[in-house]
């Protein structure tokens, strides 16, 4: 074991048997560890108490509208891609009471929320997910409009990232420039290495906190071979993405094609169920509901995740602005891939593939973009006849 503490950007090796020490160290530092675990035949994110809670020896098979959990032939700890949950459920809770009010004679008193904010340690965050968090940082922590719920959870966050050892069937982070290797915004980044009776993690230090975590976890300096092996694993993942998306000029492509017939085609398949927005790690729309008790003495305001796929979301006096399925799907995809860039300076898509896997009818955002792009490069019948 090396007694000299590594510095930021250094890489060390932690044996698989010492992964539990990471849990102990995080708990001793006051963190609530959340990460992947199996529930209802899927890998979801929840509170973890030990290594045994992780989906050891499991993998997932994903495709449009399909997700299957499978046993692996080995005991890989992180041998799967992302599931239906994303980390936004911890930083931006699906349901949140904003304040309460109680009647005071002819007036009322507002009681602000003073809930205790956990210090989360995200264990197993993928590179695409780090990019999604950074996108939501832009949404919720702009200087002019900062969301206190998000900010209070975000500021004490510890991130233990995992560089992906395999891509899911619907992943396309390579196309979006968001993975599969974590390059920033983590405290430690692990690459799982297995083979020849060896099982260990090459760990990159990303912050001072990462250095401090390693103080109580046995480790050794990574050799050049260890580092190369870890790089090769990630490079191999990048070459085996389940999907790809050509993002060249994508903003203008979509703006040019607001009346494309493909929107009718996708609308004939879309159920407007809103699954795609619920699973997307960057979608952030909410609605606000006020409730009162029957006596009229007590009222509460709640914020809940909403979706641009619901009729109510764009309802104003007289009706919904986006009454058709076509207009709602177009709004979602064009916001995600085009107007998001105008609004936040980045794409709203990180290529995680969740919207493809969890769409009950398998609508695939990469296929929809491809169809519009290819139609522009295919000569129309009229143009053909002219030639």
Q: Which residues bind ligand SF4 (CB under 6 A)?
A: 270-276, 279-282, 309, 336, 349-355, 359-361, 363, 365
Minimum CB distance to ligand SF4, residue 251 (Å):
15
Minimum CB distance to ligand SF4, residue 366 (Å):
8
d(CA 2, CA 21): 15
Q: Which is nearer to ligand SF4, 67 or 200 (CB)?
A: 67
d(CA 254, CA 275): 22
Tokens of 2: 């090396």
Minimum CB distance to ligand SF4, residue 359 (Å):
3
Minimum CB distance to ligand SF4, residue 16 (Å):
30
Instruction: Compute the half-sphere exposure of residue 20: CA atoms within 13 Å on the CB side of its CA.
Output: 5
Q: Which residues contact 111 (CB under 8 A, 6 or more apart)?
A: 99, 100, 101, 102
CA dihedral 140, 341, 335, 169 (to 10 degrees): -90
Q: Which residues contact 157 (CB under 8 A, 6 or more apart)?
A: 91, 119, 120, 121, 122
Q: Which residues of 111-126 are buried (b: 16+ CB within 10 A; e: fewer)?
A: eeeeeeeeebbbbbbb
Q: Which is nearer to ligand SF4, 26 or 365 (CB)?
A: 365
Q: Which is nearer to ligand SF4, 121 or 372 (CB)?
A: 372
- Residue 188 main-chain phi, psi, to 5 deg: -135, 145
The owner of tokens 């009010």 is: 101
Q: Which is nearer to ligand SF4, 44 or 227 (CB)?
A: 44
Q: Which is nearer to ligand SF4, 157 or 350 (CB)?
A: 350
Q: Which is nearer to ligand SF4, 177 or 379 (CB)?
A: 177
Minimum CB distance to ligand SF4, residue 58 (Å):
21
Minimum CB distance to ligand SF4, residue 87 (Å):
12
């Amino acid at each position: 074991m090396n007694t000299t503490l590594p510095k930021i950007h250094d890489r060390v090796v932690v044996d698989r048997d010492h992964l539990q020490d990471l849990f102990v160290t995080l708990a001793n530092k006051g963190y609530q560890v959340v990460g992947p675990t199996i529930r209802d035949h899927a890998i979801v994110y929840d509170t973890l108490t030990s290594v045994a809670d992780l989906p050891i020896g499991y993998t997932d098979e994903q495709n449009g509208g399909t997700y299957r959990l499978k046993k692996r032939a080995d005991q890989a700890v992180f041998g799967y891609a992302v599931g239906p949950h994303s980390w936004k459920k911890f930083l931006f809770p699906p349901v949140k009471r904003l304040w309460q009010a109680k009647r005071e004679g002819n007036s009322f008193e507002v009681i602000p929320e003073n809930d205790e904010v956990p210090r989360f340690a995200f264990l197993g965050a993928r590179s695409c997910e780090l990019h999604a968090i950074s996108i939501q940082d832009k949404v919720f922590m702009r200087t002019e409009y900062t969301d206190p719920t998000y900010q209070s959870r975000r500021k004490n966050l510890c991130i233990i990232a995992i560089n992906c050892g395999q891509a899911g069937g619907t992943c396309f982070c390579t196309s979006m420039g968001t993975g599969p290797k974590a390059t920033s915004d983590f405290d430690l980044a692990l690459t799982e290495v297995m083979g020849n009776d060896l099982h260990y993690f090459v760990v990159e230090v990303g912050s001072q906190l990462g250095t401090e975590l390693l103080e109580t976890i046995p480790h050794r300096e990574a050799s050049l071979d260890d580092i190369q092996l870890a790089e090769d694993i990630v490079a191999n993942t990048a070459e085996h993405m389940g999907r790809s998306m050509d993002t060249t000029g994508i903003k203008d492509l979509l703006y040019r094609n607001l009346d494309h017939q493909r929107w009718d085609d996708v609308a004939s398949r879309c159920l407007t169920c809103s699954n795609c927005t619920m699973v997307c790690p960057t979608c952030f729309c909410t609605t606000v509901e006020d409730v009162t008790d029957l006596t009229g003495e007590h009222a509460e305001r709640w914020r809940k995740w909403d979706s641009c796929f619901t009729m109510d979301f764009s309802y104003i006096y007289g009706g919904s602005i986006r009454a058709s399925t076509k207009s709602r799907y177009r709004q979602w995809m064009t916001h995600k891939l085009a107007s998001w860039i105008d609004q936040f300076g980045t794409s709203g898509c990180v290529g995680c593939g969740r919207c493809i896997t969890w769409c009950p009818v398998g609508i695939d955002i990469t296929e929809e973009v491809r169809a519009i792009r290819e139609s522009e490069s295919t000569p129309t019948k009229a143009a053909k006849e002219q030639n």
